[in-house]
A and B are shown apart, each in its own frame.
Chain A
């Protein structure tokens, strides 16, 4: 706090000024720290799995009648195929355009399927070779991400999921995606 004494027409008074230098020091240090540690591009990950063949016996829960959801992506179209593992198979095929509107429709359809089959949390994706990584990312977003307007689903965590991943599960529509085309 700085004080100055002035004399004006014989009256003595004190002019008080706020010492803002420590404030500026703190701001400078904070600025430098934030500028150095700032990341202007946020990076995320999309977790997918590849199939693996094993001769281990089929777990008993897999032997039950369950729904299988397959998504085939091509350069211009996306095909959604659903079928049950045991009769009645009840196979259904729906086609969508590989564009923003088509992906939105696909997402709506997947939400409806999940509503009817809340235990099914896995989607198998098959892709043509000429589909770009960007298009696959958009498709994975449509499959995995639950929008705020979508209902919440109870997703089970995997054994190898981290605590952070377990926390994020409630924001997922289908948390498990297998890249079915990755087979020798």
Chain B
């Protein structure tokens, strides 16, 4: 809002106080909700994460994403999800064959990198992998089990299930 002084100088001054008020409130709100999580990640559009009161924060970008209609590993689409399950052609002994094959490739690459960093680890037993997984809250355990079985067969034994938690 501009204020006019109709005096001899005719000077115009802008009243900045309301703007400062708004800025102060906005800065306070943003500082209060500021997240210091180590990893910032936006979930895929068609994933509604379940709510949880977990205290563990996300520390790596999810590798497996299961939307309502698709299953992704990193940025590669692995298969479709039809009626809450993967097509029969992609199933093998309860697991998801294309996902298993991709995970084995990732495991091999990880082992090679570890070996190059520490040559003495060559003859040691390979370290069991961890897989971060985000999944739509409406999916059934049947699909979750298939993904876990695929991971288990590729020696990914720890799963970090991504959930949504209330902003502190």
Chain A: how many interface residues by the 8 Å CB criterion?
51
Asked if A43 and B27 sit within 8 Å, CB to CB, the answer is no
With most chain B CB atoms within 10 A of its CB, the pick from A37, A162, A168, A182 is A182
Q: Choose among B24, B139, B152 the residue that contacts A50 (Cβ–Cβ < 8 A).
A: B152
CB of B144 closer than 8 Å to a CB of A:
yes
Which A residues are in CB contact (< 8 Å) with B117?
none
* Per-residue A-contact encoding for B147-163, CB less than 8 Å = 1, 0 else: 01101110001111111
Interface residues on B, range: 35 or more
- For the complex formed, measure the closest distance between the CB of B127 and the CB atoms of chain A, giving whole angstroms: 8
Q: Is the interface of A mostly helix, strand, loop or mixed?
A: mixed
CB of B105 closer than 8 Å to a CB of A:
no
* Per-residue B-contact encoding for A2-45, CB less than 8 Å = 1, 0 else: 00000000000000000010011001101100110111111111
CB of B112 closer than 8 Å to a CB of A:
no
User: Closest chain A residue to B146 by CB distance?
Assistant: A182
Asked if B161 and A137 sit within 8 Å, CB to CB, the answer is yes
CB of A184 closer than 8 Å to a CB of B:
yes
Q: Choose among A24, A47, A128, A160 the residue that contacts B56 (Cβ–Cβ < 8 A).
A: A47
Asked if B34 and A34 sit within 8 Å, CB to CB, the answer is yes
| Bound Cα distance A119, B130 (Å) | 25
Which residues 16-62 in B have Cβ within 8 Å of A in the complex? 16, 19-20, 23-24, 26-27, 30-31, 33-35, 37-38, 40-41, 43, 49-59
| Bound Cα distance A42, B27 (Å) | 19
CB of A46 closer than 8 Å to a CB of B:
yes
Which A residues are in CB contact (< 8 Å) with B161?
45-48, 133, 137, 140
Asked if A28 and B144 sit within 8 Å, CB to CB, the answer is no
Which residues 122-168 in B have Cβ within 8 Å of A in the complex? 127-128, 130, 132, 135-142, 144-145, 148-149, 151-153, 157-168
Asked if A45 and B56 sit within 8 Å, CB to CB, the answer is yes
Listed by A's residue number, 8 A-B pairs whose Cβ atoms lie within 8 Å are: A40-B33, A43-B163, A43-B164, A45-B161, A45-B163, A47-B159, A48-B161, A145-B53
